[in-house]
A and B are shown apart, each in its own frame.
Chain A
Amino acid sequence: SQQGEEDPQALSIQEGENATMNCSYKTSINNLQWYRQNSGRGLVHLILIRSNEREKHSGRLRVTLDTSKKSSSLLITASRAADTASYFCATDKELTGGGNKLTFGTGTQLKVEL
């Protein structure tokens, strides 16, 4: 089952603009991660934010986390055509032996046009 939903489901912007995607989840978390997926490919890990963090930056990415609202947002600044992809948030649950099970949202399809 999906943990939650991303909003919007699809987003189309012009190159150079900022893109904001939101993610809501249902249960308490250890951390929340964002992944990118190009069409028909595997997922690429972008950034991880822990439950005791409120904001994190990595290059042109900015992630916020509000555990009281069970929500997170991903901001991509100065978008490029190469940012065109689907973006997923994922929460994790510890498994037996120390592994982690990720539960993904439904994703936001971002299209950056020239």
Chain B
Amino acid sequence: DTGVSQNPRHKITKRGQNVTFRCDPISEHNRLYWYRQTLGQGPEFLTYFQNEAQLEKSRLLSDRFSAERPKGSFSTLEIQRTEQGDSAMYLCASSLGSAGTLAGGYTFGSGTRLTVV
């Protein structure tokens, strides 16, 4: 297990289609995060899981977006009825830590670049 793995790396889809991305975190990491990054901007927080529980969702996560983390291992992010504005890099990150201050930063995956045409 060498890091956070995201699939696919690239996805081109037509407007209105549904897409699903997968993230496999570092196996011992109990925390998993999804971020979205548009061109020329820093990543923006979407949602957070601790084990299988989704504990925080951003207002950016409209009702067309849904994320799951069954069994507290891999996670999926689904976008329904995609729009051109959904085009972005979707980044997954994981970390290990007990309650309190983050010790050493996240480990990010390489991201899934979504293009909606």
Residues of A within 8 A of B (CB): 1-2, 30-31, 33, 35, 40-45, 48, 50, 88, 90, 92, 94-107
Question: 8 more A-B contacts (CB under 8 A) besides A31-B102, A40-B111, A99-B33?
Answer: A30-B102, A42-B6, A42-B111, A43-B108, A44-B108, A45-B106, A45-B108, A104-B43
Task: Determine if B101 and A99 form an interchain contact, defined as CB atoms under 8 angstroms apart.
Answer: no
Task: Determine if B100 and A95 form an interchain contact, defined as CB atoms under 8 angstroms apart.
Answer: no
In the complex, per-residue mask of B101-113: 1 if CB is within 8 Å of any chain A CB, else 0:
1101111111101
Task: Determine if A103 and B31 form an interchain contact, defined as CB atoms under 8 angstroms apart.
Answer: no
Task: Determine if A95 and B56 form an interchain contact, defined as CB atoms under 8 angstroms apart.
Answer: yes
A-B pairs with beta carbons under 8 Å apart, 7 shown:
A40-B89, A95-B48, A96-B55, A97-B50, A99-B56, A100-B95, A100-B97
Question: Out of A2, A30, A48, which one reaches B42, CB within 8 Å?
Answer: A2
Q: Hey, which chain A residues are within 8 Å of B48, CB to CB?
A: 95, 99, 101
In the complex, per-residue mask of B43-74: 1 if CB is within 8 Å of any chain A CB, else 0:
11100101001011000000000000000000
Contacts A2-B42, A107-B42; is A50 near B99 (CB within 8 Å)?
no
Task: Determine if B104 and A92 form an interchain contact, defined as CB atoms under 8 angstroms apart.
Answer: no
Question: Out of B97, B105, B111, B113, which one reaches A33, CB within 8 Å?
Answer: B105
In the complex, per-residue mask of B86-104: 1 if CB is within 8 Å of any chain A CB, else 0:
0001010101011111101
Q: Hey, which chain A residues are within 8 Å of B111, CB to CB?
A: 40-42
The winner among A2, A97, A99, A103 for most chain B CB atoms within 10 A is A99
Contacts A30-B101, A97-B99; is A103 near B113 (CB within 8 Å)?
no
* Shortest Cβ distance from residue A97 to the other chain B in the assembled complex, whole angstroms: 4
Which residue of the partner chain B has the closest CB to A98? B99
Q: Does chain A have a CB within 8 A of B41?
A: yes
Q: Which 4 A-B pairs have the closest CB atoms?
A: A104-B42, A45-B105, A98-B99, A42-B108
* Shortest Cβ distance from residue B8 to the other chain A in the assembled complex, whole angstroms: 14
Cα(A101)–Cα(B47), bound, Å = 9
Task: Determine if B97 and A98 form an interchain contact, defined as CB atoms under 8 angstroms apart.
Answer: yes
